[in-house]
Amino acid sequence: MEQKQWHQMKTEELQQALQLDPDQGLTEEEAGERRKTSGYNELSEGVKISPVALFLNQFKDFMVLVLLGATLISGLLGEYLDAVTIVAIIFINGILGFIQEFRAERSLRALKQLSAPTTRVVRDGKVIYIAARELVPGDVVLVESGDRVPADVRWIETNSCSVEESALTGESMPVNKHSAEILEEDVPLGDQKNIGFMGTMVTRGTARGVVIRTGMETEMGKIADLIQNTESQETPLQHRLEQLGKILIGVSLGLTILVVVAGILHGQPVPGMFLAGVSLAVAAIPEGLPAIVTIALALGVQRMIKRKAIVRKLPSVETLGCASVICSDKTGTLTQNKMTVTRVWLGGRTMEVTGQGYEPAGQILLKGKPVELRSDQALRRLLQVGGLCNNAEIIETAQEESRSRRKGKEAEPAAVWELKGDPTEGALLTLASKMGLTQTSLANMYQRDKEFPFDSTRKLMSVIVSHQGGRLLCTKGAPDVLLDKCTYILWDGNVVPLTPTLRQKVLGANEKMASEALRVLGLAYRDLRPHDRPESETEAECQLIFIGLTGMIDPPRKEVRDAISKCRRAGIKTVMITGDHRTTAEAIAAQLGILPRNGLSMTGQELARLDDKELDARVDQTYVYARVSPEHKLRIVKSLQRKGHVVAMTGDGVNDAPAIKAADIGIAMGITGTDVSKEASSLILSDDNFSTIVAAIEEGRSIYENIRKFIRYLLASNVGEILTMFFAMMMGLPLPLAPIQILWVNLVTDGLPAMALGVDQPEKDLMEQKPRGAKENIFARRLGWKIISRGFLIGLCTLGAFWLTLRIAPNDPAQLAKAQSVAFATLVMAQLIHVFDCRSSRSIFHRNPLQNKSLVLAVASSVLLMLGVMYIEALQPIFKTVPLGLKEWALTLVAAGIPTFLMGAGSVWGGRRNRRRSMMTKSANISA
Ligand code: ATP
């Protein structure tokens, strides 16, 4: 066994213990072997509900138990057939419920898998991304600011690395980590400076570590039971529906009791009335509602995944539909994040750069003529600093040229230049390579001693490199920030003091490039004296010599302009929040149609000067925030929220997490986002693209409308069922439906058609309407009225058809059976016609009824099921049905059609009248 603990070992001892080469990492084979003993690197999940338990849960419902009891009693009284059939129907209902819930559960689990974390690891000498659960002891992992430490690791290299370990130690201040520290004693976790613990968060810097423990063996694993994720995924709507469900149970039970009492008072036999009452209660309680809501949510979420939006928190699906402002990052979300340097400014000279992408082909031209690197020391220094102060890598890969193959030629491999790392840095590498300063040649000449990593608050990055006995500090970053750290400038080949005039010249050049939508970066350097050992960035980044500026294009994403105008039509404001220069941001915002003519822009500095009240007064007119730091984002979100907006906010860095969390819909970037931002988010864009947010909002709206559609359908159907029985009992008529028929209506109409409504296509003008209010009641926009009016008519028409048939021979039991069959068919058909009406917020005439294929199929199978129990002779005695003649069918269909078509015609007429009235008002206004 280990003699020393991991934190007490020197690097060599560590390598020996784990048998590894830190540069090569493990081989895939070796990792596979080790996994056999170590298992997957994951914490065991909490107790899962088994399918059997899920199935049994279906029968736990109070009313179902009462029905089973009632059935048992009627069985004991000799109604065997009834009893068996009712049990069969309850069983089928249970299976349907089980399938719904099982599907819902499975899709939720699949979603969880999708947002599972990945990590960077060295395998076979290459840096690759793998799922964090694949890690094994001995793997070499790389982390940077914003990452979660994926397993317990022993650091072997750290660059200004701090880790926040509050999840483990409760200490919220980040701890500095040092790979070199060897701890002799058995120190507590919080003091183990050379160890990284699974689940803790890197807040600063970069580091390389060797995995020492995985999964349940880690320190986090030891306390896993305490931190089991018990967060409920219930959405506010689900919660409200659950409460509504309770009210509906009360109302249904109350009405059912009224029906039963009225029936008994009018001379109906007590046992029969009791069974009818219980069946009615079972049918009237919309027990399928929660499961269908979950399915509609889960299926909608799957459609979102196809559109590249991964929902992490189900409640956000609802909030998405209410979003009234989207605050979006610029780089990579609105733009392509494919940077190419097109301009260089050096001591008053402006140069153009040719070539595209990351291919090192192109020239630097001054007044149209190629510049010679040999004779231009300033340019050489600029390229060197850009190439050295850099963590990106450009790899040449070969790709088959399909065009030449199509022409019948030999396939020629074409070079493809692939970037690994930050595109801004990639652009600088390409610029240097265009002039022959390749990454390899720079790496051969200079050795990196230290790095002060880029940080979006500081907006600078520096490295210290040494070569031929000398040491150089290279810095790059936002020109306005960098200039404050410079005291000299390279001008005409000489280092001269940075006078206010020269400073103005630099700023003027910066402004000019920015106004052309270029992203501008400044570069500076300083020779270090032998005794200079700066430990912090403040010590290092001072008295610099400013070299020049590079301007890069980052073209807007093609689809974004359309997405923004779609948002505008949908009443959603788009706001750009960027760390970039104000002028660059404004230029791009104008190109994309974000910044209207009277719209304002604001810088982080200006924002910092405003108090909350002043910010609130301007926030509605401001469309661009530039040079902001992540903490400003939080103030913007809060201010917008105070103004009553529902805010969607994007972010990628570790410092963006508070704003993402505070936003109503926190959005993280799938590709460039840090683990921390992803964990804080409720939505992840797997393509980092703004248009995906708009697609998600569209889906969010559509899901909500679909939920409203089937709530409308289910509740109107139930109102219809109850009222049919209620009216009949009040009028002293016999039971219009036998108990078993009530249960069958419930089975054939509630399940499939409601589910098909849950996946209905959205109405055409979905994104032409204003966002709904966050507190809007589900029954708002006349939904409640529609439920009651349609339900009332369904009840009335069913009873009418029953009465008209019964009236012919009121005392003949055969006629009563026929009248019951007419009522049964009318009720089913009225609901199945009404389901098409539910697809539109206007009327049945506004949409093609055949568009939703699943609905057509569901309705067709429900009709078949109904015909089955009416026309299959063997089933007739069970369901107490008789086949109907033409006359009865005509009556049935007319009665069934009235609720939908009458109200539909009414709304069409009303719509026309409104339009005519508004036209008349308009023309009256014009003539006035
Ligand atoms: P957005 O917030 O829209 O993504 P951004 O990428 O410009 O915009 P940051 O990444 O915070 O925002 O960058 C802010 C500024 O920092 C940039 O305008 C640039 O001047 C500078 N900068 C960006 N990347 C680097 C880097 N790798 N090294 C040094 N400076 C950088």
Over the stretch 266-298, which tens digit does the pLDDT of each residue have?
888 887 787 788 778 877 777 667 767 777 887
Terminal Cα distance for the chain, rounded: 97
Q: What average pLDDT does this structure show over 614-618?
A: 96
Residue among 728, 912, 687, 708 nearest 826 (CA): 728
Minimal-distance CA residue to ligand 1 atom 9: 579
pLDDT exceeds cutoff 60 at 407: no
| 171 three-class SS | coil
Q: Catalytic one among 329, 652, 656, 675?
A: 329
Q: What is the mean pLDDT of residues 211-221?
A: 86
Is the pLDDT assigned to residue 204 strictly greater than 50?
yes
Pick the CATH number of 340-401+412-553 from 3.30.2130.30, 3.20.20.150, 3.40.1110.10, 2.160.10.10: 3.40.1110.10
State which ligand 1 atom lies nearest to the alpha carbon of 422: 27
**Taking CB atoms and a 6 Å cutoff, what residues make up the pocket around ligand 1?**
329-331, 422, 424-425, 454, 456, 459-461, 476-478, 519, 521, 578-581
Q: How confident is the model at residue 227 (pLDDT cuts 50, 70, 90)?
A: very low
Reported residue count of the chain is: 928
Architecture of domain 251-304+699-762+780-922: Up-down Bundle (1.20)
> Would you say 718 and 283 are in contact if contact means Cβ atoms under 8 Å apart?
yes
Residue 329 known to be catalytic: yes
Residues contacting 874, CB < 8 A, separation 6+: none
| Closest to 434 in 3D by CA, of 359, 544, 523 | 359
CA–centroid distance, residue 520 to ligand 1 (Å)? 9
Q: How far apart are CA 624 and CA 519, in angstroms?
A: 16
User: Which atom number of ligand 1 is nearest to the Cα of residue 476?
Assistant: 29
| Spacing, Cα 422 to ligand 1 middle (Å) | 10
How many CB atoms sit inside 10 A of residue 477's CB?
22
Distance CA 696, CA 693 (A): 5
Q: How far is CA 54 from the centre of its chain?
A: 28
In this predicted structure, the answer to whether residue 874 has a pLDDT above a threshold of 80 is: yes
Does the pLDDT of residue 749 top 60, yes or no?
Answer: yes
pTM summary value: 0.78
* Cα(31) to centroid(ligand 1), Å: 37
What residue ranges do the domains of the chain occupy?
A: 251-304+699-762+780-922, 309-335+558-695, 340-401+412-553
* Residue 831 pLDDT exceeds 90: yes
- Mean pLDDT of the residues in the chain: 86
Instruction: Write the class of the CATH domain 309-335+558-695.
Output: alpha beta
Say which range, 63-67, 134-138, 385-389, has the weakest mean pLDDT.
Answer: 63-67
DSSP assignment of 49-82 equals PPHHHHHHHTT--HHHHHHHHHHHHHHHTT-HHH
pLDDT in tens, 656-666: 888 998 999 99
Closest residue by Cα to atom 18, ligand 1, is 580
pLDDT digits (tens, 9 = 90+) for 315-326: 788 889 899 999
- What is the SS3 string spanning 736-765? CCCHHHHHHHHHHHHCHHHHHHHCCCCCHH
Distance 638 CA to ligand 1 centre (A): 24
Digit-coded pLDDT (tens) for 710-734 = 899 999 999 999 999 888 888 888 9
* Rounded CA separation 613/523 (Å): 39
Tell me the per-residue pLDDT of 74-105, one tens digit each, with 9 for 90 and over. Answer: 677 666 666 777 777 778 777 877 876 776 66
**Token pair in block for residue 424:** 């801004």
Mutate to test the pocket of ligand 1, among 333, 334, 580, 672 (most ligand atoms within 8 A of CB): 580
What is the mean pLDDT of the segment spanning 347-357?
A: 93
What pLDDT, on the 0 to 100 scale, is given for residue 406? 46
Distance between CA atoms of 675 and 312, rounded to whole angstroms? 13
Residue 402: pLDDT band with limits 50, 70, 90: very low
